[in-house]
Structure formats: structure tokens, C-alpha cells
Chain A
Amino acid sequence: MKKMRTIIIFFVCMLCVACEESANIHLSTEETNLIVVEGIVTSENTNHLIKLSHTYQNINGIAEPVSGASIEITEGLNNYPLIESPAGSGEYYTPIMRAVTGKTYTITIQYQSKTYTAQDSPLPVEPLPTIQYYKTNNQYSLSLSNYGQDANFINHSISWKNTPACTSGICESKVVYYDLKTIDVNEIFKPKKEDLLFPVNSTIIRTKYSVSDAYKSYLRSMLSETEWHGGIFDVQRANVSTNLSEGAVGFFAVSTIVSDTTMVLE
């Protein structure tokens, strides 16, 4: 029987002789040196992080931080100046604040005589679905699926630092599940993702983010160029949209969030 299966797999492979392998392709990259804005102000009452960096030229490159910028978030008459911490990190924190549904938040970044602006408004967020994971080879894997009516994404911060399984290396991972409620053939037939396994007693912190229409549009185009890219039904490549002015890239988002924490049990 095993022999038969091998023969069948051979024939199927021959019929689907699609293969992907490492390519020695030289990229004609350019020093675009654009400003990248990455940050989400959420409904959590805390210091929110806005990261500024430069674009980089090579795959897996290191993004140089943009330090010394002056950043302010405004909502109506309220101003929230941001402070870079630590200095030179390109990481800027708001004072303790929370985003309120229905209000519009504007970010203004001044850097090297240019002023970049963007704005976004948070939408309400639906509850988190029940977490689902399954056991495989004495480890665990997340089971992710769409839930609810509204576009959203869920960040999963998984840590097994405090378990005996953490013997070396980084014992944590970040998994993001996007559920944009769009119909895109490149999403439906997106390329396979690598397996991610974590041990028993891992801690999973889930944070679900609401997504405004503009943010949804950004995420859709960003995913078309990242997670959804490389399947059999690809779409034309193009630059990802942004809500930032003056040629900056990235997105300034404002979201309502809901989160929970789960310990993975046997």
C-alpha cells in the first residue's frame, strides 16, 4: 500500500511539477531613504508607540531608525506630544492616552524641514473568538479562522520563556492573523505559511484590533505584497497605499482593541 502511495505521489508530482527554489537574482535596489511610519494608537489607556525608520535596500535588511523627529498627535483641541525613548531609537511614545471611537486623530511629524501628516479614526471592535489550538508531535499549533462581521486583525504574542522547553534562543513568537472580510483570489489561494509550534504551558496574549476603512485598504495592499504574494493567483505588483503625506510610507492607525491571555494546557 505504501508503495502504491509512493507511485501515486510520484505521478502527482510529475503532473504538478511546480517547484520553488532559491533564486540568485540580483536586485537593482536604490537608496530611496523614505520615512517609514509604523504605529497604532489604541483604546488602551497607555503610552502608545510610534516607530519611525528609514527604508532599506536588501532583503532582511536592518531599518535605520529616524531619530530627532518632532511628533504630535492631535484630536480636536487635545494635543499629545511624543517623546523619543531611548534617544536615537526611532521609537516615540505618547503620553498616557486612549483613542475614543468616532474621533479623528491626526499625527504630525516634523523631520528635516519636512512635515508629514496622517489621520485615522477608530471603529468599535468585536469580541475575540474562543482561542483554538491543537496538539501535534507533542507541541501545539494555533488554529486560526475568520470570525465576526467586521474587518480586524489579531496579534498573537506567544511566549514559552518560562517553560522547561526554553533551552536556548528566542522563546517567543508573534503571529498575526488578518481577517479583512474581502474577497481576493490571491488571498484565497495564498502561499502556504510555515508551521509554528509552541510547547505546553506557553502563554498566548491575543490582541484584536479594529480596522478603519483606510487601514483596511492599507492592510489589504500590504498583504498583497507580503503574505498573499507568491501564490498561483498573484496580482500586479504595486506600491502599498499609505495615509501619510509627503511620500512617507507605512500607516498611522487608530484602533479599538480587545485582548486576552491564555496558558496552553495539555
Chain B
Amino acid sequence: MLTLLTLLSHHTVHAQNKIPDTKITVDVNGIALTQLLDIIQKKSGVSFSYNPNKISSDQKINYKAINKTLTAILNDMADQFALKYMLVENQIILKPEKKPEKKQTQNITFSGNIKDKKSGEALIGATLIVKELQTGSVTNAFGYFSLTIPKGMYSVTCSFIGYKPYTTTVDLSYPIKENILLEEEPPLLQEIVVVGELHDVVKEIQSSITNMRPKLVEERPALLGEMDVVKSLESVPGIKLHSDGSTFYYVRGGNRDQNLLLLDDAPIYNPSHMLGVFSTIIPDAVNDVNLYKGNMPASLGGRLSSVLEVRTKKGNDQHFQFWGSTGLISTKAGVEGPIKKNSSSFLVSARASNVGWLFKQADKNIKQFNFFDLTGKVNFKFNANNQVFFSSYTGSDNYMNNTNGLAWSNTAGTLRWNHLFTDKLFLNTTLAAGNYDYSLYTDVATNTKWSSHIGNINLKSDFSYFIKPENELTFGWSINGYNFNPGNLKSDVPLPNVPTLSVRNSVEFVLYGNHEVKLGKHLGANYGIRLSSWKNTGESFEFVFDENRNPIDTLYYKKGQSYSRFIRAEPRVTLNYLLGDQSSIKASYARNVQNVHLISNSVSPFTSLEVWLPSSINIKPQIANQFTLGYYRSLPIKGTSFSAETYYKKMYNQIDYNAHAETLLNPLLERELRFGTATAYGLELMAKKDEGRVHGWLGYTYSRAKRKFADINNGATYNAFYDRPHQINLMVAYDVNARWNLGMNWNYSTGAPYSAPISFYKYNGEEVPIYGQKNNARLPDYHRMDLSATFKLNKNPEKRFKHSISFSIFNIYGRKNALFINYNKTEQSDGSFKVPTNLLESDRKASQFYLFRFTPSFSYNFKFL
């Protein structure tokens, strides 16, 4: 009897007879416990005996058991419904079990993934709110959430922009792991005034982050119909694109190499096609894009100014679909579908340029003029706790004429394993690699080319521990290996007197921890630290220079020999204080360190020769300290918000160049570098409407970016090229009806600074300019309006085959936005501008160079779902 009592206290009772080994499957939702018992009774053949007054029949429950033994099911039920059971005379007797008080207030974890209902794609950043507790969670980069709250019955609402909110009742009597599927909102929405809803921008602790959903990119008018994630950044306050025809962007007064672009955690060093007219990142294969403007979570780093984190789609795990489009510039196609429904899928997306033949027809000297992208992804879900993804990207550009040419390529690959240790502890382990190669062909016939390279491989583990609602700890480590070739000459023929530049190798270890927590009703904090240890390893050689930059020694490092170690700590903290339900203020501090440096004194908007070097004997790590203070408010109309964010950023060990620095094939390259500081500050205002038939935003930025170098501009502070104080961005999308969508984009910014001559002199017939203060003049102000219209050709929106045509006009009022001002050319009889050949007589004029006035385009798009 004593034994029996002991056993009862553990719920598991092996009484007088043996419980049958019958295996059954039960999957019920929202029924009474008594109904569940009836079902089990029917399926297993055993009968239950209990006092109906003591077993609740009011409480609605969910229960799922797949092919489980009756004993296992009884144990489950005993745990979940506070019962004890015993087998007596082939009857199972059930009695309520009185549990200690502690058990009644026990915390239970509700976890799972939030996905798109049709495609199964993870919805990154979707919110989950528990109505009764007014608390919630946000899905991580893999669509996973975990919420640990007291046992009970809750009403949970899941929402994501562009999707119908979904509310369900969850009985948290036991841990639940569930996938929540959200359905896309129909394109036409009624304007709804909602008061009292707390908007994400207000509530989320993280500041200085911009989310660019692929749909948003697609709605934006695009140059020549090429929808482009990187170009879309020009509409974000605080981001400045170099100019028309460029994918270079500058974030909060930082240089262009201070932006990291991660495609599924693999770096893309040069995301441009056609010299920068288009970027490599098209929305077709993209699931989510986040831009961190310097205030990155501790898990991200390696650049001073921003991280653009692009997550590709994993592929539809419900059904096959393919899509495509063709326009003036390129043809795109993609296919995705399940390998095994609900558990594995694939995606392949490709783009190839159409313009090569056009250029070849116009100029017989052109031999190659093309680019392509290829993106692929597969994923396998082995069980509820393990999922593996593999994604790859390759893209290449080739522009060759008879004598010379340019070519570059990016390749990236990521192998990722997501593992759930428990409902509260999530692990993402990633092996990622990225390579970038650039070649300048100086003689195509002999295959003589200057080639540079940067590549890296990264292994990392990111842990997320969901302690409680709004209390999440992330921590992890990573190891990065880098390889740099700063540019060497190769040829099929022997080349005399060609200098050799040392290849460099570096290793970086990173440890980080980040804690995001709500401290009471109003205050939230996100703080963390990133520790990095950087070292270079041989085989390589380095030059030592004296104070006059004369080389005085050459240091040789054997293969595997370590040198130049830099250990840096990067603390980061953001505080969010809620001012009631509708507004908040946030303050942040972030320190960032950068150990890879782009060496280029080009001012061209186009991809020119790219040389990357590591921190080393002659180049110290770049460091930035950024402070921000912001005010965020949600407005009465659903999905509308206003934000005002100020920042101040001080950057150290910044790189600039000796006058007319020789950056190619120069073994003493480092003596061409100059080091100094940079300061940036600004105010970014943004009014945004995310939902409704009319949506978009209006942004205004006041910003300054200044640099100070002892050896440049006589040591005086000067404006950086990207110092453009005033910037206005207006982006509007209008869903006219079920078939017509219109888009409009208007950008304005102060003209970019440049150095204008203050006088001239003659030398051997050439007119040589003399400059005063660096960047003493500005190009004319930049502004441009683009329009687009998309017409869905299907009358029936339910058809599986959907197709549409898009018209767009870039720069509708034909503004001549100058890229360069030149003073060294003469006007020819045909109106063109050329450099004079006869130096005895010339009539030089100031001229301006611009791109893309009134550029119309159309494209045809289709999808088969």
C-alpha cells in the first residue's frame, strides 16, 4: 500500500493490473477534458471511472499525442491536468490531484515559429502579444519566438505588417510548441482609426534600425524597372547614396567601406552590377532586410557605420511556385517549392542581363557586356528541434572591349543549423564564406590584368535564451579568417619589373553577450558587449616607415607566424522609456571597431578598383563612438508613426590619402595613407504610414560629416564628400484598386562637396588647376522624382498564374543632377566635351556630367503560385 501511495504521488501508477500497450493518436483542440477521456476510451478500449463533479468539464483544452502508448498519454494528462490515475479491475480510475501552491503559479513556455500561411516563410520581427498580461515577444531572425509566462489560459494575438492579425486562445497548462501561420492582408485595406495600439517603433528597445520589407522595395519606382534593395536605401533618412548610377551609400557620416552587407550572414563586398547602376540584391529572393545605422546588436559588428542584414527566403514548403520578369536591362526567373512538405524546401533565383547585344551592336569594340546573379537555398527540418539551411549566391560582371576591361565577382555561401536545446534556448550555428574578386584588364589579348581579392570564412554560434517575456539573453562566439590580395599583376606573357604586393591573412575571434530586458512598466534596456581579438598571420611582409614615410625596414613573417594583435571591447547600450502608451524616448551609446579597410582614393560613383587591407603594423583599427537620442510616437491612424532621432558620432583612425596617391601595384601603399578623425552629427525626422491604401513616409535629415587630418588641408577640418546637410525623402505607394498600384518617390539633398580650383597655371600647354581649401565648393542640389504604375493583368485574383506589367519613369522632370564638374574640356562641334589634343590652342569650358534624365521603362512580371 505504501508503495502504491508513493507511486501515486508521482502520478504514474502501475496498479494491480498492467495498462495495455496500445498506441493511439489523439489531436484535439478546445474540447472539455471529459470529451478527451471519451475519445481515449474509444480508441484504446479501456474505460475510465471518475467523479464528474471533480473533473472539470468547463475548461477547454488542447491535446496532441501521435502514436503514443496509453501509459505515456496517461502520464501526460496527469502532468497537464493535475490528475492521478490507477488501474483497478481493467478500469482506470481518475482523481484530481491537489498540487502544491508553487505548481499553480508555475511558468510555462509557449514557443514556435510564425510563418507565412501560403509559403511557410519565416516572418522575421512578427509580434506576439498576450492580451491578459500585456506582454509579448518578437520573432527572431529565423521566425522563432519563445514566451515563458504563468500557467493559464490566454488570448494571444500575432501580427506582422501586411498580414491579417491572428488571435487565438492558448491553454498554457503545459508547454506548447506551435507554428502560427499568418495570412497576407488583401491588397485593399480600409482606413481604420485605432486608438490605443502600441506601435512597434515605440515599444521596441532597439533604436536606429530600419526594416525594408521586399514588398516595400517592389512598390518603389525603380530605375529601368530594376527593383533594387540597396538603391531603396536612398529613401531612408540618414542614408546618402553617392549619386545616380551608384550603389555606394554613406550612413550617418561614415565612409562607404564602413557599411557591412550580410547576405544570410555572408559578407558581400561589392553589391553592384553595371559599375553600380544596379545592385546585386533584388527583392525576389529576399525575405527580410534590416539596416542598423551604427547601433548594432552585439552579435553584429566589424564595421563602424552600418550593417545591412539581408535574409533570403527559405523556399515555399507548401507548394511549388515559379516567377519571372523581363525588362530592358535583365531577365529574372525563380522557382521554389517543397522537397518534403512542411519540412524541407528549396529556392533558386537567377538574373541575367539583356543589354550586352545592344551595346555590341552599337560599338563593335565591345566584346563582353553582361552581368548575372544566381541565388540558391535549401533547408531541411529534421525534427521540431533541428533545422539546417544552405544558401549560396554568386554574381559576376564582365565589361570588355578589344583592349581593356573590367570584371568582378562576388560569391557567398552559408550553412546554418538551427537547434532548440529547450523551448527557451535557441542556437544558430553558421558557417559562412564570402569572396570578392576584382580584375582590371590592361591588355585583353595577353590576358594581362590587375587583380585584387578579399575573402573570408566565418564560423559562429549565436545562442538566444528567452528568460521571460521581454527578457532575452543572446550570447555567442565567432571566428573569422580573412585573406587579402591588395592587387597584383598577372599575364600570359612575362612582365618585366612588376612589383609584388604581399598577400595578407588575418584571424579574428569574437565573443559577445547581449541582454534585452524590460525593467518595469516604462523602462527597457538593451545592453551588451562585443570583444574582438584581431591578429595577422604570415606568410607576408610588411614595411616599416620613418616619420617622413620613407621605408626603413621590411619585416618578413613566416607562414603561420602571428603579428599585429588588436584586442578591442565594444560596449553598446540602448535605453527605452515609454511615455504612456503612444510614445517613447530612447537613448543609446555604441562603440564599433573595424579591422578591414577599403583603400581607394576614387571619387567616382562607379565601382572602381577595390583594394582591401587589414589592420596591421601601419593601419590601426578604425573606431567609432556613437550616441543617439530619439523620440518615437505612434499616431492615431493605424500603422502611422513619427520619429525624431539625433546622433553624434566620433570616428578615429580614419583613412584618407596623399595627393594623387598611387593605390595600385604600389608595394609601399601604406605610405600613401593619411590618418585622422571624423565627426558626424545630425537629426533625422520621419513620419511613416505602414498600412492602408496610401502608405509611405516623409523624412527630413539635417546632418554634417567633417574630417580632420594633420597632413591634409593644412590640418584644417574639411567637409567629407558625403556631407550634404539637408535631405528630404518622400515615398508614397497608392493601391488604387485591386489591379492598379501607383508609386512615387522624391528625394532632395544638398549638393555634394568637391574641390573647385581657385586659380590655374600653364605647364607644357596644359592648364593645371590650383586648389585652396579641400572640398571648398558644392555640386548643385540634387533632387529627383520617380513614378511607377503596376497593372495586374489578371481579372481574377484567385488564379494561380498571376502576371502584371510595370511602367516607371525615373527622374520625371528631367533634372540634370551633376555627378562631376570639369574644367579641362573643350566643346566640340557636335556638342560633346573632349580633352584638347592641340595644346597650342584650346578653349576650355566648365562642364557638368550627369546621368539619367527622364528615363522611362517597363517590365513584365509573372508568378505561378
Using CB atoms and an 8 Å cutoff, list the residues of chain A in contact with chain B: 5, 8-9, 11-12, 14-15, 17-25, 27-32, 34, 36, 38, 53, 55-61, 63, 149, 155, 170, 172-176, 182-185, 188, 190-196, 220-227, 229-230, 232-241, 249-251
Contacts and interface: CB of A to CB of B under 8 A. Distances in A.
A35 to B, nearest CB: 9
20 contacts: A12-B362, A12-B363, A18-B850, A20-B825, A22-B845, A28-B758, A36-B763, A55-B760, A55-B761, A57-B760, A175-B839, A183-B665, A185-B602, A185-B609, A188-B404, A192-B832, A221-B659, A230-B825, A232-B604, A237-B769
B432 to A, nearest CB: 31
B601 A235 contact: yes
Interface string B748-761: 00000011111111
A59 B440 CA distance: 34
B689 to A, nearest CB: 33
Contacts of A18: 849-851
Interface in B812-865: 816, 818, 820-828, 831-853, 855
Interface residues of B, number: 88
B758 A220 contact: no
A9 B360 CA distance: 10
Contact of A196 (B776, B824, B837, B845): B837
A230 B838 contact: no
Given A8-B361, A234-B603, A22 B664 contact: no
Interface of B: 224, 275, 328-329, 355, 358-359, 361-363, 404, 440, 442, 450, 489, 496-497, 601-604, 606, 608-609, 657, 659-662, 664-665, 754-772, 774, 776-777, 816, 818, 820-828, 831-853, 855
B761 A233 contact: no
A1 B361 CA distance: 11
Contacts of A15: 224, 328-329, 355, 358-359
Contacts of B850: 18-20
B846 A22 contact: yes
B352 to A, nearest CB: 16
B820 A233 contact: no
B38 to A, nearest CB: 72
A236 B255 CA distance: 14
A23 B757 CA distance: 15
A64 B845 CA distance: 21
A17 B761 contact: no
A222 B824 contact: no
Contacts of B763: 36, 38, 222, 250-251
A53 B848 contact: no
A243 to B, nearest CB: 13
B761 A238 contact: no
A175 B837 contact: yes
Given A225-B769, A237-B754, 18 more contacts: A20-B825, A23-B846, A27-B757, A27-B823, A29-B758, A38-B762, A38-B763, A55-B759, A175-B838, A192-B835, A193-B835, A193-B837, A221-B660, A226-B824, A227-B835, A233-B609, A237-B771, A239-B770
Nearest to A220: B660
Contact of A17 (B363, B762, B855): B855
Nearest to A190: B835
A226 to B, nearest CB: 4
Contact of A56 (B761, B826, B848): B761
A229 B824 contact: yes
Nearest to A144: B837
A183 B833 contact: no
Given A34-B770, A185-B664, A25 B821 contact: yes
A194 B838 CA distance: 8
Contacts of A220: 660, 662
Nearest to B713: A238
A238 B769 CA distance: 9
Contacts of A236: 601-603, 657, 659, 755
Contacts of B852: 17
Closest 10 A/B residue pairs (Cβ): A238-B659, A23-B848, A173-B838, A230-B822, A221-B660, A237-B755, A194-B834, A196-B837, A36-B761, A12-B362
A53 B497 CA distance: 39
Nearest to A11: B358
Contacts of B662: 182, 184, 220
A203 to B, nearest CB: 15
Given A20-B848, A227-B835, A36 B762 contact: yes
